[in-house]
Structure 1
Amino acid sequence: MKNLSKQSGISLVELMISITIGLILMTGVVQLFLSSRATFSTQQGLARVQETGRLAVEFLAEDIRMAGYMGCMSKKLNFTNTLNDSDTVAFDFEIGIEGLDNVGATVDDGYPDNIIQGTDVLVVRGANGNGIGVTRNNESGQLFAENSGVAATCDDKEASFSGLCENDILVVSDCQKARVFQATNLTATGGAVEINIVHSKDGSAEPGNNVASWGGNSSKDPDEKFGPDSQIIKMNTMVYYIANGTSGIPSLFRSVNGSAGQELLEGVQNLQITYGRDTNSDKVPDDYQTATEVGTAWEEVTSVRLELLVQSTEDNVLEDPQPYTFNGATENSPGDRRLRQVFINTVGIRSRLP
């Protein structure tokens, strides 16, 4: 039989010492966890800010480079816009690039109405996508082009051939002249190896054509003829602007051909733009000006300088508020603990540079 009098447990002092040591160890673990979490949140916020800034610059730069592009005839030496409402923001293809400077409380007609005050707006117009070749001389109200067999995503009631849809805004160019029009009807013809593109004054089309007949093959005017050396490409008007996104924070939006704006990138807080003007016709920018300073001289713009302010999508990723300098002004009290970074890039318009 064991002698129970020789067995003993932990004393109160030993228990208190053990608890104290455990608390000290737990405090260290918690501090390490909190420090690691804060570092992770900061690094994650920085990575997202940098990725957002990079993508925003790429989106804008890709369209800016192609501003005013109309196939091989991109100098507008002989350009005709046959659309109705050709002086509106969505369809004024005479102007390849333009913008608004520091939007006020009332936005100009034709622009989205939810643009954040004090930000800039960029409008880029031009042809993009794959072109299709004209197969024979046009007739007065129609063009004939190759049927590539590629379908596009169209509305249920619209036909699609060679990546085009009925009611698309198109440009036909032969390096000497270009004409913008709306395709009101697409059909396969010539044994399905080519398509017939009609450009009638169809009242159901938006905006529709104000000229249905070009004269075409029967005309003696060479400006009315587009033969097998011509190309047809889809035209688009892109409007880039800053508005509050679905999460409630500023984001970069894009509207195409007057459609509802699409949220591209969350966290783009501000966009400021200056335009490089060539005032002596040497194809080199002489000065960078705001949209207000450019006025109506958009044909002199050969490059665009972008300045974007990107913020982290989450608050409290920094220990203290982060002062920042943007567009020449310093903000010392941003009112939050978001991470911010400024991205600056200058992009040339290919058709206007040497």
Structure 2
Amino acid sequence: MSLSAKQSGLSIIEVIVALALSLIITLGLTQIFTSNSQSFRVSEASARIQETGRLATSIIGREIRSASYWGCLGSQGVRDGRLNSILNDTGFDVEALLRGLDAEDNQGVGNSDILYLGGINGNSAVRVTFQPSQQAANLRVDDSDSFNENDILIVTNCSAGDIFQVTNVNTNNEVVVHNSGNVTDGPGNSTQALSTNYNDDPDGASVFRPRQQRFYLQDNPDGVRELVTDGIAIMGTPTGNFTTPVALLQDVVDFQIQFGVDSNQNGQVNDWEDPIGLTVAGRTQADNTIAVRLSVLVRSPNDGVTDGGQEYCFPGWLDCVATPSDMTTAAANDTFLYRVYSTTITMRNRI
């Protein structure tokens, strides 16, 4: 038999079987690739969310723990009467500088909360070395280089405290001046006299910078919701106005807090309450608060992570098992990944 007679092609059945096997293998490889790709997207989104949630609770928690610190004197002893009550006719009350804690419920974007925290920076203490008299307009300190005209400062010992605005600094003699009258910017001092003679305290007195800052949410120009902070300017210009917001973390889409109120002054939380707001009753509530519950809702930066309609329990202190109606369900076409991060922080300067 010749060689050409022995050669023959594949039958149609063999071709069909080969194509079917190839198709099955291709579909299997495609499914493996798709599954691995989706797993990678979920893992990446989960890691990003976890980092954002951890940082948000850590940053705000640290500030809550340090809030309402006024040296060895509580805020009730600091006198705000040395400052004119209104800053530059903007309607901002200088009493806010002496508030350790305030909040507004559902007043931020998306009905989120706004948190106000105040106190002094304990690392910024400058010792008072001499005060000529209670009526004098100057204090001699051990380091005047960090102070400038228009700065708002607090001088305090364990018995009294005063808040005032600097009208001049004499670095050669280490003297901080707090005259009454006009200033370049800010409220100015209604009187140069202080509430006490700080030479009388054998332990001495110190000058601190007050701190007052807010934490809240805003939508940036790209439409991404982010956690931001700003604060009352207590140095430079414009003194007394809120500073430009600084973005801390993106994709924090909701922010809620509750106050742990010690209503009978026994050093324990008696009730958990939503903030009343910046009213007389709200500030009484905030003054009696010794702990804060914080819950943030974080969303993945990119969509296409879930199949839509994800459920989550927010704020974190809700019992969605006992009350299923408290569970939140994302829209069916919402394919972002959501996570809730909650923590409880004790105000260590109030216990």
TM-score computed with the length of structure 1 as normaliser: 0.78
Shift of 1:127: 0.8
1:213 corresponds, among 192, 196, 212, to 192
Give the secondary-structure state (helix, strand or coil) at the position aligned to 2:171. strand
Shift of 1:67: 1.9
Paired with 2:263 and 2:115, the residues of 1 have a C-alpha distance of 21
Percentage of pairs with the same residue: 26
Give the secondary-structure state (helix, strand or coil) at the position aligned to 1:284. coil
**1:116-155, aligned counterparts within 5 Å?**
116-128=109-121, 130-139=123-132, 140-147=136-143
Q: 1:78 to 1:85 in 2, by over 3 A?
A: closer
**1:225-304, aligned counterparts within 5 Å?**
229-257=204-232, 258-292=242-276, 295-297=282-284, 298-304=286-292
Paired with 2:53 and 2:44, the residues of 1 have a C-alpha distance of 14
Paired with 1:187 and 1:272, the residues of 2 have a C-alpha distance of 46
Gaps of 5+ in 2: 233-241, 319-325
Paired with 2:199 and 2:9, the residues of 1 have a C-alpha distance of 105
Q: Deviations over 1:70-102 (max 9, x none)?
A: 122135335445333468367513321111111
Give the secondary-structure state (helix, strand or coil) at the position aligned to 1:76. helix
Paired with 1:89 and 1:50, the residues of 2 have a C-alpha distance of 39
User: Which residue in 2 is equivalent to 1:61?
Assistant: 61
Q: 1:91 to 1:350 in 2, by over 3 A?
A: same
Paired with 1:323 and 1:50, the residues of 2 have a C-alpha distance of 17
Shift of 1:281: 1.7
Q: 1:222 to 1:317 in 2, by over 3 A?
A: same
Give the secondary-structure state (helix, strand or coil) at the position aligned to 1:331. strand
Q: 1:227 to 1:20 in 2, by over 3 A?
A: farther
Cα-Cα RMSD? 3.1
Paired with 2:19 and 2:200, the residues of 1 have a C-alpha distance of 94
More moved, 324-333 vs 51-60? 324-333
Give the secondary-structure state (helix, strand or coil) at the position aligned to 1:238. strand
Gaps of 5+ in 1: 104-114, 148-159
Q: Deviations over 1:30-73 (max 9, x none)?
A: 32222111111111111111111111111211121122211221
Q: 1:21 to 1:260 in 2, by over 3 A?
A: same
Give the secondary-structure state (helix, strand or coil) at the position aligned to 1:282. coil
Q: 1:175 to 1:4 in 2, by over 3 A?
A: farther
User: Which residue in 1 is equivalent to 2:349?
Assistant: 351
User: Which residue in 2 is equivalent to 1:334?
Assistant: 331
User: Which residue in 1 is equivalent to 2:46?
Assistant: 46
Q: 1:228 to 1:341 in 2, by over 3 A?
A: same
User: Which residue in 2 is equivalent to 1:107?
Assistant: none
Shift of 1:240: 0.9
Shift of 1:145: 2.3
Give the secondary-structure state (helix, strand or coil) at the position aligned to 1:350. coil
Give the secondary-structure state (helix, strand or coil) at the position aligned to 1:161. coil
Give the secondary-structure state (helix, strand or coil) at the position aligned to 1:93. helix
Shift of 1:241: 0.9
Q: 1:77 to 1:247 in 2, by over 3 A?
A: same
Paired with 1:291 and 1:319, the residues of 2 have a C-alpha distance of 36
Q: Any conservation in 2 of the 1:278–1:286 contact (CA below 8 Å)?
A: yes
Paired with 1:67 and 1:248, the residues of 2 have a C-alpha distance of 32
TM-score computed with the length of structure 2 as normaliser: 0.79
Give the secondary-structure state (helix, strand or coil) at the position aligned to 1:189. coil
